[in-house]
Amino acid sequence: MAGLSLRGVTKQFGSVTALTEIDLEITHREFVVIVGPSGCGKSTLLRVIAGLEQLSAGEIYVGDQPVHRVPAAKRGLAMVFQNYALYPHKTVAQNMGFALKMAKVRRDEIDRRVVEAARILQIEDLLERKPRQLSGGQRQRVAIGRAIVREPKVFLFDEPLSNLDAALRVDMRVELAKLHNSIDATMIYVTHDQVEAMTMADKIVVLRGGRAEQVGSPMDLYHRPANAFVAGFIGSPRMNQLPATISAVSSSGVSITAPGGLELSLPVAGHDARPGQPVTLGLRPEHLTVGPQSGGTSLDLDVYVTEPLGGETILYGHIGDNSTLVVKVPGGTDVGKGQRVPVGVVPAMCHLFTEDGTAFTPLHTNDKVERIGASSS
Amino acid sequence: MGERMFVPLMLAPIFFFLIFFYGYPTLFNFYNSLTDLSLLGLKQGGAFIGLRNYVELLSSKDFYRVLWNTLFWLTAVSVALRIVLGLLLALLLNSATLRHYRLTTASRLVLLVPWATPPIVAVVVWRWLLDGRQGVINKALEGLGLIDTPIAFLANVDTIWPALITIIAWNTLPLVTLTFLAGLQSVPPELHEAAEMDGANAINRFFHVTLPHLMPTVVVMTLLLIFWTFNNFVYIWLATGAGPGLFTNVLATEIYIKGFIDFELGFSSAVGMVMAAMMAVFGILYFRFVALREFREIL
């Protein structure tokens, strides 16, 4: 078992640059999720780590061994493919034992390790079946089993749950988390689903256009997104991003004017900000409250769609000059279509981004943000 | 109209076709094989002689040489050769190297040339190429100093079968190759990647990923080639006329020779029936290994 380190990893396909100078430190036993929209280079990054693609520049270390010139099979990594990639004519046991057979491991040792992996994944009774006789979830387990059997230093997962139906996906998510705890392995997991990223990761890497936009813990990314893209990508429903203008800058924060006559004083570092500068105000739907406000700032929301989900309700409404605002409220809240309701905004929970998307640095500490975040949800 | 009527009605044309164009001629041929019908006596017909034609055929030594020529040289060697060469060519055409140099389309077009050549043209061209006096191949071999005296490839008993098989393979290999190529292209690339991660080298990947994936295609192609080759008349007849003497005589040419050169239509029919019986064996194999599986998938 070992950590993994990427230094300036760059990948070009002809004139197209798929990955630009990715730096990443992954410690032993860490569960790292690489997330981003389609075409962001996340699968390419995984394939470069796996050795299925040669990198154009940069270095990859497993432990303290450079592996970027080492063939895929010798890197000590195992990969679980999106479509499982099971050998269709081999039984489950043969599929799982194939790598060991190639490595000329003794027959009884192969059997022992295959049975052990099958036990962990609860597929012992499937060992003699062929892949086509298995359900999607079972194939997924076999694909994971094939990786476990090799006892790799690092597991690589390429969108492993995307072919499963929603209920099974949630189950497998939990199983994978359990597996990660039980087999003491470093895992790198690629997905486009931010929920998978948030729920499973120790560390998330958000990719866009082949660049790492931000690397951090799920809560880091949620509470302190480095830019408007990360802020919009992490969290569901998406963060509201409203155009705003800076009205004043002081040592205690930045004052802004936003649609709907909203005037806010945000506790962020002003630095280069100047009055009149256009900025983007970020408001998470779950950090907004509906109803008569005891304090703080509020604005009026003209609700045009409600999505009652049972435990919670999502409100879609207009504010001021027809900007759309999404608000998440507890399930019992009595708000109907066409109603105008006051929405409360807590300045400490707001995010502010420059025109190019970079986040303003909050003045308060991380702990305080997490505490407020926890209490409001 | 109920389904009970609809299905037989839809199947009726093909059954009609089979009965009149296969069933009736087969029975008629079988009857002829039991007579001493001669090409010169078609009007008066042949006298019924029972199984005497079959006895004569199966007890003649010539028949077993013809059988050996047909089964071993014409069918087994040429089919095996085409399967192996077709597979190798398909692997080459599918290779990343060829793609890298952007030769994929060009190479496939070149491959189609022999296939688009009618057998008659192919045989005539090859007869010129292989000619003992003026043939390009002899000239080339002499030029390279590999041989001192020209070889009459299509007359020399040592070279005649290899030469015949070369002609057959040249003309029909493209179809085999293209079929295998289509099979190769349907191998999911992530299977190769998974095998690569599992530590399989190129040879292991071929035997553990490519070949198993291609196996159904190989089985079908082998059986089809056997069908097409076993009863083939054109190549042998045009290239050697079953000669020298009857050295390259096969079942198909034997039928022709007996019926239309020796005028023994009754005997010729008996050879035809024996040949049909052997084809039926291949047919049963085809049904057993290919068609039945397809039926099961449909039903």
> Is position B12 within any domain?
no
A227 bridge partner residues: A358
> Which chain B residues contact residue A82 at CB under 8 A?
190
If one counts the domains in chain B, the total is: 1
Res A321 pLDDT > 80:
no
pLDDT in tens, A239-295: 999 999 999 888 888 999 888 778 888 888 877 888 889 999 999 999 998 877 666
Q: Are A87 and B209 in contact (CB under 8 A)?
A: yes
Write down the CATH number for the domain with range A237-376: 2.40.50.140
The CATH code of the domain that includes B290 is 1.10.3720.10
Contacts 24+ apart (CB under 8 A), A10-14: A10/A55, A10/A56, A10/A57, A10/A58, A11/A41, A11/A44, A11/A45, A11/A48, A11/A53, A11/A55, A11/A56, A11/A210, A12/A56
Q: Do A78 and B191 touch (CB under 8 A)?
A: no
Dihedral through CA A222, CA A228, CA A230, CA A234, nearest 10? 50
pLDDT at B152: 80
Out of B188, B198, B212, the one facing A99 most closely (by C-beta) is B198
Chain A residue nearest residue B196, CA to CA: A73
What residue ranges do the domains of chain A occupy? 4-229, 237-376
Q: Do A50 and B197 touch (CB under 8 A)?
A: yes
User: Per residue, what are the HEC states of A312-325?
Assistant: EEEEEEEECCCEEE
Q: Identical fold at A4-229 and A237-376?
A: no
CA distances from A9 to A19, A147, A289, B187 (A): 7, 25, 44, 30
pLDDT in tens, A334-345: 888 888 888 888
Sequence-separated (6 or more) residues with CB below 8 Å from residue B169: B78, B81, B82, B85
Residue A371 pLDDT class (50, 70, 90 cuts)? very low
Dihedral through CA A166, CA A172, CA A176, CA A177, nearest 10? 70
Q: Do B196 and A52 touch (CB under 8 A)?
A: yes
Per-residue model confidence as pLDDT tens for chain B (299 residues): 577 888 888 999 999 999 999 999 999 999 999 988 888 888 887 788 888 889 888 998 888 999 999 999 999 999 999 999 999 999 988 887 777 777 778 888 888 888 889 999 999 999 889 887 888 888 888 888 888 888 888 888 888 899 999 999 999 999 999 999 999 999 999 999 999 999 888 899 999 999 999 998 998 899 899 989 998 899 999 988 887 888 888 989 989 998 899 898 989 999 999 999 999 998 888 888 777 777 676 65
**Least confidently predicted of A76-90, A158-172, A353-367:** A353-367
Query: ipTM of the assembly?
Result: 0.79
Residue A155 pLDDT class (50, 70, 90 cuts)? very high
Which of B115, B66, B5, B56 lies closest to B242 in space, CA to CA? B66
Question: Helical H runs in chain A?
Answer: 42-50, 92-102, 107-121, 136-149, 166-183, 194-200, 218-223, 228-233, 366-376
Helix (H, G, I), strand (E, B) or coil at A239: coil
Share of chain A above pLDDT 70, in %: 95
Which residues does A contribute to its contact with B (CB < 8 Å)? 50-52, 72-74, 77-79, 81-83, 85-90, 98-99, 102-103, 146, 150
pLDDT in tens, A185-202: 899 999 988 888 998 899
pLDDT at A294: 64
Q: Which domain holds residue B75?
A: 46-298
Q: Do B212 and A87 touch (CB under 8 A)?
A: yes
Place of tokens 């796996």: A50
pLDDT in tens, A51-104: 999 999 999 998 888 998 898 888 889 999 988 999 999 999 999 999 999 999
- Which residue has better confidence, A320 or B71? B71
Classify strands A289-290 and A340-345 as parallel, antiparallel or unpaired: antiparallel
> Is position B200 within any domain?
yes
- Give A105's Cβ-side CA count (13 Å radius): 20
What is the side-by-side order of every strand in the sheet holding A57-62? A16-26, A4-13, A57-62, A65-66
The helices-and-strands tally (H runs, E runs) of chain A is: 9, 20
Give mean pLDDT, residues A10-22: 90
Residue A370 pLDDT class (50, 70, 90 cuts)? very low
> Is position B20 within any domain?
no
Class of domain A4-229: alpha beta
Out of B191, B193, B197, the one facing A87 most closely (by C-beta) is B191
pLDDT at A206: 94
- Residue B77 Cα, gap to closest chain A Cα (Å): 29
What is the average pLDDT score of chain A? 87
Chain B residue nearest residue A75, CA to CA: B197
